[in-house]
Amino acid sequence: MLIGGIEAGGTKMVCAIGETDGSLETEVKIVDRIFVPTKSPEETLPEMIQYFQKWDIQTLGIGCFGPVDLNRNSATYGCITKTPKPGWAYCDIAGAFTNALQIPVGFDTDVNGAILGEVVWGAAKGCESAIYITVGTGIGVGVYCNGKLVHGLVHPEGGHILLERHPGDHFKGNCPFHANCAEGLAAGPAIEKRWGKPAIELADKQEVWEMEAFYLAQAIANYVLCYSPQKIVLWGGVMHQKQLFAMVREKVKKILNGYVDHEMLDAQIDQYIVAPALGENPGILGAMCLGMLESTVYKGLHRVGI
Ligand code: ADP
Ligand code: ZN
């Protein structure tokens, strides 16, 4: 059986087709994938719809950049909500695919999709609670708690958690909403603005990564205290600086200072804060998983008002 997945990003839309036996026991095999640049919805959505119409897919999942409306009782369920991205505010992205393809469409944030993929097939397999943190153009946190993806008033926005400043950091921050949030201090664009060069060109500058780990470790320590995840999957463009993993683990240990008493935060911390096991694919596989759950658990009924 074929299924579709979309990783909807502010720069590009990844659209892919997966092959599955329909069970969550076996990992979906990606059989085709395209990248569509994110222009206006009027240009981008028809191109994506045309792609999926060429395949006989039974279900589709979308992991979407946010903020999004995940409340199934809301009139704007399935929409991107208040985004500065021209044309996309209140775009009914899930509805566009449901109407065009007439199949169940699963919908969640990109990071919730990614943690779902990692829980079902990847590094957090079997966990009841786990989080996925992406450190890229922004910082996003997908939260899976007690066997469910966390939604709420809106959805968690862990990237905007407030942090204590590094004593040597005089950068004013890069978030228009908060002076001291994780995204504004530690996402890729913040690194670039603070140090005057793209993060990838700063690989050999120890002080850059010390400061980066100082911020990421604070955020992670707070997520540990609030969500008590059994696994933390850490990824995004900035984490391609692999040296950060060891630095972050060490600093998380130091910040928590033995208070959370578990071997995962001590001897086994290198198995606790990890890179995804799904390589570069947690987002797209997670999106497909959202689609599979939608067809089995929800059967798409909310869209037709039943
Ligand atoms: P997005 O968050 O838009 O999905 P990415 O996860 O690829 O995209 O993140 C892009 C950010 O990651 C950019 O700010 C870029 O500077 C940074 N980045 C990409 N590759 C590297 C690298 N090898 N080392 C450090 N930073 C990187
Ligand atoms: Zn912020």
Substitution candidate for ligand 1 out of 195, 238, 240, 281 with most atoms within 8 A of CB: 238
pLDDT of residue 119 exceeding 90: yes
Q: Are 219 and 119 in contact (CB under 8 A)?
A: no
Would you state the pLDDT for residue 177?
Answer: 95
| Cα pseudo-dihedral 240, 243, 248, 254, rounded to 10 | 180
Percent of the chain with pLDDT strictly greater than 90: 93
Span from the CA of 182 to the centroid of ligand 2 (angstroms):
7
The 10s digit of each residue's pLDDT in 220-272 is 999 999 999 999 999 999 999 999 999 999 999 999 999 999 999 999 999 99
Report pLDDT digits (tens) over 268-283: 999 999 999 999 999 9
Instruction: Please name the residue whose Cα sits nearest to atom 13 of ligand 1.
Output: 188
Kindly report, residue by residue over 18-57, the tens digit of the pLDDT: 999 988 889 999 999 999 999 999 999 999 999 999 999 9
Pocket of ligand 1 (CB under 6 A): 9, 11, 134, 136-137, 188-189, 192, 198-200, 236-238, 240-241
Q: Which one of the ligands is nearest to 182 CA?
A: 2
**Ligand 1 center–CA 258 separation, angstroms:** 32
pLDDT confidence tier of residue 299, bands split at 50, 70 and 90? low
- Residue nearest (by alpha carbon) to ligand 1 atom 10: 136
Spatial strand order in the sheet of 148-149: 148-149, 139-145, 130-135, 231-235, 273-274
Residue 300 pLDDT level (bands cut at 50, 70, 90):
low
pLDDT tens per residue, range 172-207:
999 999 999 999 999 999 999 999 999 999 999 999
Residue with tokens 């990783």: 7
Which atom of ligand 1 sits closest to the CA of residue 188? 14
- pLDDT exceeds 80 at position 301: no
5-9, 21-25, 81-85, 297-301: segment of lowest average pLDDT: 297-301
Question: Which pLDDT score, from 0 to 100, does residue 150 have?
Answer: 96
Percent of the chain's residues with pLDDT above 70: 97
Instruction: Report the alpha-carbon distance of residue 224 to residue 208 in Å, rounded.
Output: 24
Q: Let me know: does 278 contact 117? Beta carbons within 8 Å.
A: yes
- Our mutation pick for probing the ligand 1 site, out of 137, 233, 247, counting the most ligand atoms within 8 A of Cβ, is 137
The pLDDT, as a whole number, for residue 298 is: 64
The residue-averaged pLDDT of 137-159 equals: 96
Is the CB of residue 183 less than 8 Å from the CB of residue 157?
A: no
Task: Evaluate if residue 219 carries a pLDDT over 60.
Answer: yes
Listed residue (167, 244, 248) closest to 206, CA to CA: 244
For residue 1, pLDDT over 70 is answered with yes
Which of 11, 12, 111, 200 gets mutated to test ligand 1 (max ligand atoms within 8 A of its CB)? 200
- 297: pLDDT strictly greater than 80: no
**Average pLDDT over every residue of 94-103:** 97
Separation CA 174–CA 13 (nearest Å): 25
Ligand nearest to the backbone CA of 237? 1
pLDDT at 6 over 60: yes
Tell me what pLDDT residue 212 has: 98
Distance 157 CA to ligand 1 centre (A): 19
**Is 156 within 8 Å of 256 (Cβ atoms)?**
no
DSSP state of 169: -
Are 113 and 287 a contacting pair, CB within 8 Å?
yes
How many angstroms separate the alpha carbon of residue 102 from the centre of ligand 2? 37
What's the pLDDT score for residue 84?
84
The closest-lying atom of ligand 1 relative to the alpha carbon of residue 187 is 14
Contact 107, 69 (CB under 8 A): no
In eight-state DSSP terms, residue 6 is E
In degrees and rounded to multiples of 5, residue 183 shows phi and psi of -60, -45
Does residue 304 surpass a pLDDT of 60?
Answer: no
Question: Cα Rg for the chain, rounded, in angstroms?
Answer: 19
Res 192: pLDDT: 98
Residue whose CA is closest, atom 9 of ligand 1? 136
Mean pLDDT of 63-80: 96
Report the atom number in ligand 1 closest to the C-alpha of 238: 26
Mean residue pLDDT across the chain: 95
Q: Name the residue with the closest Cα to ligand 1, atom 7.
A: 237
Rounded to the nearest angstrom, the distance between the alpha carbon of 305 and the centre of ligand 1 is 40
Instruction: Assess whether pLDDT exceeds 60 at residue 155.
Output: yes
* Ligand 2: centre distance to CA 223 (Å): 16
What mean pLDDT do residues 88-96 have? 97
Q: Which of 11-33 are b and which e, b meaning 16 or more Cβ less than 10 Å from the residue's Cβ?
A: eebbbbbbebeeeeeebbeeeee
Residue 190, Cβ density class (10 Å: 0-12 exposed, 13-18 middle, ≥19 buried): buried
